[in-house]
Each structure stands twice: as C-alpha cells, then as structure tokens.
Structure 1
C-alpha cells in the first residue's frame, strides 16, 4: 500500500510540473512586458496548491523560462541570461508562504479574506518588482540603458504584474470557492442563470467595449474621459453583487485597456498613467466589493435568523395546538365517563329519592359535566376535528355567538383549504376567534359577518378573511342583557382577548398582515395569511461568522 502511494505521489508531482510548464508555454503569446499573465498564473498556483507541489511548480517554471531567455544570449549577454534563468517563482515563494501562514487569504473552506488577498497580491507584486529591477540593473549593460530608465522600469515591473494578478487570481479564487465535485453542470446552469451573469452580459460588457473603443478612437482629452467613464458601470455592478462583480468587471476593463497598448519596451507616460489609474480603481472596487459582500452576507444571516425564528414559532404553535387537541379529547373522554358513572349513580339514588332532579346535588353534578364538555369544546372544537375548519367556523362560532345574543353570518369561498398546511388553518381559526372577540367587545356590536376566502397565486397558497361587526346603539340594551354570556365568549372560543398589536404579531408568523377599518357604523378587521413554503419548513443551516470574510 505504501509503495502504491509513493508512486501516486510521484505521478502527481510529475503531472503538476508538466501541466504548469505547458500552461506557462501556452499563455506566453498573451503575456507582454506591461501585462505579464505569467504573474497571475504563478500566484494563483502558489495560493491554491499544497506546499508539497511547490518544488514541482518551480521545476515546471524553470524549464520554459530558460527556454525563453536563452535565445537572448547573443543580444543581451551571458549575465542577463544567468540572472533571468532564475525562475520568478523562487523569490515569490517566501512571500506567499508568509501570507498563507500569518495572514491566510482562505480562513475557511468556502470563504476568502479579501483584505489578506489584496495584501498578498501587493507584496508579491513588490517582490516581483524588486527581482525584475535587480535583474534589469545588474544584467543589462550600462551603455545599453540610461540611469533614469531603472526607476521607469521599476514602475512598469510593479504595475504590469499587479494588473495581471488582478486579472487571473480572482477567477481562480471564485473557482476554488464555488467548485463542488460532481455538480459541474448544475453549477454552470446556476452561473448562467444568475443575476450577475445577466447584468454582465447585457450591460457591463457592451458599455465597457464601447468606452474602450472610444478611448482608442477619439482624441485627447476625450480618451481620458472614456477611461474614467468605464468605472461607472463597474461600480454599479459592484454595488449590486459585491467583490465577484469587481473581479468580473476588473478583468474585462484591464483586458480592454491593456491589450491595445503597444508592445515596445519603453511605454509613454500616458500608458503609465492609464495603468496606475487601473490599479487604483480596480483595487478600490475590490475593497468596496468586499464590504458590499459582507453586508449582503449579514443581511442573509439576519434573514435566515428571522426565518428560523418564524419556523420555530410555527412549530411551537402547531405543537401547542396538538397538545390542546389531545387534552380536549381526553376531557371529552372524561366527560363521557362521568356521564355514564353519574347516570348509574343517579339511577340508584332515584330509587331512594324520587325527586332527585330538584335537589342541588343533581344540579351541581350536571353543571360539572356540562363545564367539562364546554372546556373540551373551547380547547379544540369537535366540528373542527371531524369536519374541518369551515365546520368549526359555521357551527362552533355560530353557537357561541348565538348564546351571547349576537347575530352571525359566515361566508366561505375560494379553494385550496384542503392543501393548506395544518399550522395555517390553526392560525386562521385562532385569529378569527380573536377578531370576533375584539369586535364584540364593543357593546354596540349586535351583528358579526365573517368572509373567508382561500386561493393560490403563482403556486403560493393563501387565505384571507374579514370580520365585520355592525355597531348599532339600539343594540346596547341587548348586549347588557347578555353581558354574562359576552364575558364568557372568549372562553367558549378558546381566545385570549388579544389586542391589535398582538394579533398582528400572530399573523406575521405566516408572512401576513392585519388591518383595521372603521367605516360608518362598522368595525372591520381584515387579515391575510400565506401558506408555509416547503423550504421554510426545513431547518436553515447557520451561516459562518462574518468577521472580514466573504463568500
């Protein structure tokens, strides 16, 4: 087993070295002195690959690098060839190692610290500038260059690799964060259907291409205005989607500006100014995008927390309703048992006391039995259990209001009640009862009208109801006469006599709203409740702590 593992490791090392060498050669035609794509690929490999593959990367870069510089032996001399034969990967390795150990750009598996990543990019660019400037100053003969050319070359060695790194590394980072083994096609479909992709294709790319064309067609100073205008769509996209939008828009802008720059060794000051402007602008967009992504993650975390609280409240309500139903059934069973027992006991006592019905003991026994039945009915109506919500609203509520001297009318329309979640039906019945108790608490209310409708819109089910109480001063006397029954109305309906804010909180658990209107002579309470979506019933995974990390 160890022998097979040893062979597999060597094959992996050879594969990494050969693959990196072929990639180095393949991107050579695209790499220029002011935009060396090699620098971006180099840093991406050092950041993403484990340390054990770094020697293979060094070998994979040393061979093609020597192959590129050796033909310059006659023109630039032996010293230049010897210095440039040192792989540029070598001086960058300690910097990347320090960043990965002390300031890791990837603090978690699917998170990136943008601040640490930008620091690593800057340090590697500075390290590459020192290496290239030293090689330029030492290896190039003095008669072949001027003294002032060294600082100018240093600026080019800093800005060029920095832009190349910002072009390549963010894409490698996004691939690392998003890639899931075995879900490639699904991820491609998600990317193509994402809002970022649509905004990039429809708005960003056309606008940047038009502005880049204007920059190279129009004369000064309009060309500089075109460069500045490029950052407007880039900033807009970054504000909407975060640092990923900065990576996409930055790559497109850098490519459109750097590719047309002439390939001569000495760049004009205008090209240096353009490159410096790109460096500052794209880096600023990355910083802004990181902050926007952190805010978006915080909002998503708060949304998930709210969904978890809402889901827990629904589950608690449903569990409480199930317990009330079980208790109601137990009380009904107890009331039935009492009825049978009392009937036998009273039958035996009737032989001794013929007029037992007129005695107080008999009345107390029958009252206790009736109270047990009423308690069971108030906790969970029999009509609800046996025939559903419409029966409970038509029978149970109507009987309680009739005993309180209040006229009642119920209208139920629509469809989809059978497909609503039990928790929604429970909340609907309880809120209706609370609304009826609230309306009838006015002495002038002598009539109640309930209109209930269920429906479905765009695949989402909902239920809406309106409780309307008719206020008539002539009915105050009747309300006073039935005052005792009105006081017991909340108990009969199993209501808690909630106020409007409490009822609104109750409805908001199901993404609903409740409104109160007071037209002339009426008091109306209207509420809308939405069905529970399937994804909301599943527990949401807790997001990782934010700190300075973004996805």
Structure 2
C-alpha cells in the first residue's frame, strides 16, 4: 500500500483562475508601458515589479511570474540571435523570484515597521536585480562588454540607483492604496495644501525641463527646489504625505528628463536623482516617525476621553444611587411623620393637649433636621428648582450657617440652563471645597458662583475663598484640593485651581443641553 504512489504516480491539480490571468496580462502591460518612459537611471518596471509583489498575496505570485515571463518574452525574443538563448532565459526567469524571496524575507524579519520593510526591500531588490543583470550580461553574452572594473562598477551603480528610485516612485503609492481603508488617502489628496504642493512641484519640473541644456546649473536648482513641496507634504500628513510627495518628485524629474526612452542616460540629472533618492529615504523615514507619534497622540487622546467618559459614568451612577437613597429616606420620613400625626391626634382626642403640643413641636424639629440630612445625601430640590435654590434652601445651607463661618453665597446667572449632571457636579464640588476650607483653614469663608455662556459653550465658575485677602491657602490645603476635587472637575470638562486665598472651579459643557434633559439613570422627580 505504501508503494501505491510509486506505481500509480502523483496526481497534480492545477487550477487557473481568470482573475489571475487578467492580473498577469495587466502586469505585463504595465511593465511594457512604463518601460517606454524609462531611463537607465529611472527604470520604472523595477518599481512595478516590487509594487506588484507587495500588493498581491503569495497565492497570486505565480500569475505575476507568468506576466513577468510574458513581458520578457516579447522584449527579449528578438535579442536571442545577438545575446544567446541562455542569457535570454536565465536573465528573464531569475529576477522576479529574487524579488519575491526578498519580499518574503522582509515580511518575516521586519514585521513591525511597514516603512522600514519597504526601504529594506527597495534597497535589496535594486542591488540584487542589478547584480543579476550585469553578471548575466558579463558571463553569458557571446561578446560581453569590454569594461574595466571601474566602468563595470559605475554601470552597476547607475542601474541600481535607477531601480531604487523607480521602486521609491511606485511602491509607496502601492502601499498607500493597500491602506486605503485605514488611511484617509482621498481626503488627504483633495485638501488645499496638498493640491498646492503638487501643483508647485509640477510647475517647477516643467519649468526645469524647458531650460536649455547649457544652463544645467539653473535646471538642477529648480529640480532641487521641487523637494520643498515634498517636505511640506511630509510635515502636513506624515507618512501619507511622504508616500505622495516622494513618488511625485521622482516621477516629475524622471519624466521631464531629456531623451525619455529606455537605455538613455543624462549625467547632469543623475546627480540630482541621487540627491532626491537620499531625500526620498529621509522623507519616508521622517514621515513614518511623524505618523507614529501622531498615532500615539491620537491613542492617548482617545484613552483620555474614554477615561473621562468612564469617570463621568461612574459619577452619574453614584448620583443615581444616592438619589434612590434620598427618596427612600424621604419615604421613611413621611411614614414617621404620619405615625406621629396619628399619635398626636389620639392624644388630642383623649384630652392630652399639652403632651400633644410638645410632641408636635419635637416632631417638627426632628422632621426638619431629618429632611435636611436627607437633602445632603441627594439634593432633590436641584431637579425642580436648580442649583442655586439647592444651595440656599437645602441642608447644606443650614450646615453652613451652623458653622458661623460661611457668609451669604453670591450667586449670579441662571443655572437652569445647564444640564442636570453638570449642576450636580457643581453642587458636590462646591460643598467639598467649602468643607476643605472649614477643616484646614481658619477665618470666614465666602462662596461665589457665576454661570457663563460663550457661543455654544455653557458652564459655571465657582470660588470658595477666605474672606481675609491677605491670607493664602496652605500647601496642605492645596494638595487636598487637587486630590479630592480635580478628578470630578476633569470628568466634566472643567478644572480646579488654588489661587492665593481661594479655590477656583470651572465646569463647562458643549451644546445646548438644558436642565430638563436628565442623564441616563436619573429621572426627574415630580414637583
């Protein structure tokens, strides 16, 4: 049974997909078309080769091989008689597998940085492909080029730089297209600064191409000035800007170079292109770092917003629980008052008027104290009458009066225009601030509050300060203020500061939310 495969042979299943054949045809046409616009120092098919391998998953690489071989077949078949069939075959079949191997290695070894992987693949591909090309021509041509070692090296460097520039021209655009669902590419291109930068770059390139060959210095200067819009794009949009600016820069310089056909070489432009290659690498690295730190900033900003939302939800949940407790206490107080009223009526009906009168007085006093303490748990009056009434008529006002240290609050504006959760936060913050001053400082305390409105922003500014302006808050008090009040203020878009003799608290909210819009979990009680 184990030798059945030897007797019966191996069965191979090969499936050819029409989409794969279309990909092979499209790749071959792209290589042929870009070769018509190429130079030795700017060989665009090398960029198309790397971009195709980067874009396509490995399962489609066989179709890329098919397209590569079709492209080389139509180009090198007429060269067989001059250069030999061995060179035509080996020099055609080895380039794409080499790039595929380098790309596979780059994905495995440099998995964390897309930009570093791109530059590594571009550098290695340009060097390896160039070495293969010049080596095969030197070894397999019937009459190899009679070059010296220096000429051979110069030719290899020229081809390698041309391939590298071409890869930096096409591959970033391919990666940008691959990230179109995560990177807002089209919005970036459509913005005004991007359009201005690309237009300026194109204008400089066209102007440089119209300058006579004799004025090569001026033409080189204009070509170098084209790097400024690319730098601006990188600074504006990070890696996306570099992935647009660098290819545009290389493409404009390459297409505006004289003699735009294959195997042509322009020595004056080659120096400029070497500078632009180095500039392109620098811009891609700079753009990658800008995007990295921008992404980290965005993640931190989102984390801060989530933390603030969680803190706000926690505060609202706590207020909801306290409200339920206050309602329960009020029901208990109503039950006690009802029971005492029945006892007082029974005493009056049986002729115990003096005892009934004393009990009535005692019940009224304790009922008032009980309700004041219940209002400290949760200010139900705030829901119907607003923040200022809760501060002036609730249990907190009685507690302040009993200390004989808190003066009459100075309140301005209409707090009813603020949302209920903001009013609750202001209520708790102001009570805590006054409590800290009463415990940690001596002397009289004055409370101020003023509602503010600037455009769509509404809020409230509150101060709890010592009446003596010549006294400053102690360091211990300032630390307690930051520990106990800053968290609640930040959760509701505000801030807390200690300034000389006072605590300043600012709470703001956006939009036009009114007091009647209760936050989730808190329901407005009937008046």
Q: Name the residue aligned to 2:134.
A: 133
Name the counterpart of 1:201. 195
TM-score (norm 1): 0.74
Q: 1:502 to 1:175 in 2, by over 3 A?
A: same
Counting only pairs closer than 5 Å after superposition, residues 115-514 of structure 1 correspond to structure 2 as: 115-140=116-141, 142=143, 145-147=146-148, 148-179=150-181, 190-192=187-189, 197-203=191-197, 205-206=199-200, 209-210=203-204, 213-214=207-208, 217=211, 219=215, 221=217, 223-263=219-259, 265=263, 267=265, 269-345=267-343, 355-356=354-355, 369-389=367-387, 391-393=389-391, 395-396=393-394, 406-413=407-414, 416-417=417-418, 420=419, 422-435=420-433, 445=444, 448-453=447-452, 455=453, 457=455, 460-467=456-463, 471=467, 499=481, 502-514=484-496
Deviation track 1:181-210 (CA, whole Å, cap 9, x = no partner) reads: xxxxx96763355xxx43222245415743
Question: Per the alignment, do residues 143 and 169 of structure 1 end up closer, same or farther by CA in structure 2, a change over 3 Å counting?
Answer: closer
Task: Between 82-91 and 380-389, report the one with greater CA deviation.
Answer: 82-91
> Within 2, Cα distance between the matches of 1:266 and 1:408?
87
Q: Is the 8 A contact 1:468 1:525 kept in 2?
A: yes
Does the CA contact (< 8 Å) of 1:393 and 1:410 recur in 2? no
Contact 2:189 2:195 in 1 (8 A): no
2:21 to 14, 20, 36: 14
3-state SS of paired residue (2:426): helix
Tell me the alpha carbon deviations over residues 321-358 of structure 1, each in whole angstroms, 9 at most, x when there is no partner: 11111111111111111222333345557759764369
Offset at residue 65 of structure 1 (A): 2.1
Matches of 1:428 and 1:468, distance apart in 2: 12
Query: For residues 15 and 529 of structure 1, what CA distance do their matches in structure 2 show?
Result: 60
Q: 1:533 to 1:266 in 2, by over 3 A?
A: farther
Check the 8 A contact 2:185/2:240 in 1, yes or no.
no
Q: Distance in 1 between matches of 2:127 and 2:505?
A: 67
Aligned counterparts of 1:355 and 1:43: Cα–Cα separation in 2: 104
- Cα-to-partner distance string for 1:363-410 (whole Å, 9 max, x where unaligned): 877665444322211122231133344543454366665666633443
Task: Tell me the distance in 2 between the aligned counterparts of 1:275 and 1:61.
Answer: 27
More displaced stretch, 462-471 vs 434-443: 434-443
For each residue in 1:100-122, what CA deviation from the matched residue of structure 2 results, as whole angstroms up to 9, or x when unmatched? 3x2255x6xxxx52212221221
Using the alignment, how far apart are the partners of 2:401 and 2:92 within structure 1? 100
- Structure 2: distance between partners of 1:77 and 1:336: 109
**How many pairs align?**
483
Is 1:103 the counterpart of 2:82? The answer is no
Aligned equivalents of 2:445, 2:101: Cα separation in 1: 86
Greater Cα offset, 505-514 or 129-138? 505-514
Q: Which runs of 5+ in 2 are unaligned?
A: 1-12, 470-478, 514-518, 520-527
Judged with a 3 Å threshold, the aligned counterparts in structure 2 of structure 1 residues 252 and 533 are, in CA distance, closer, same or farther, namely farther
SS in 1 for 2:36: helix
CA distance, structure 1, for counterparts of residue 362 and residue 373 of structure 2: 16
Cα deviation, residue 15, structure 1: 2.6
Q: Distance in 1 between matches of 2:46 and 2:341?
A: 96
Contact 1:451 1:467 in 2 (8 A): no
Q: Is the 8 A contact 1:510 1:532 kept in 2?
A: no
Cα 1:265–1:145 change in 2 (3 A) is farther
TM-score (norm 2): 0.77
Query: Once the 2 structures are TM-superposed, how far is the Cα of residue 467 of structure 1 from its aligned partner?
Result: 4.2
What is the alpha-carbon distance in structure 1 between the residues aligned to residue 284 and residue 462 of structure 2? 52
In structure 2, C-alpha distance between the alignment counterparts of 1:189 and 1:292, rounded to whole Å: 19
Distance 1:16 1:340 in 2: 88
Q: Structure 2 vs 1, CA of residues 467 and 15 (structure 1 numbering), >3 Å: closer, same or farther?
A: same
Tell me the alpha carbon deviations over residues 277-306 of structure 1, each in whole angstroms, 9 at most, x when there is no partner: 222221122222222221111111211221
1:24–1:267 Cα change, 3 Å? closer
Distance in 2 (CA, whole Å) between partners of 1:365 and 1:280 is: 90
Q: 2:7: which partner in 1?
A: none
Give the Cα separation in 2 of the matches to 1:362 and 1:138: 119
Output the CA distance in 1 between the equivalents of 2:481 and 2:102.
Answer: 65
**Do the aligned partners of residues 271 and 142 (structure 1) sit closer, same or farther apart at CA in structure 2, a change above 3 Å counting?**
farther
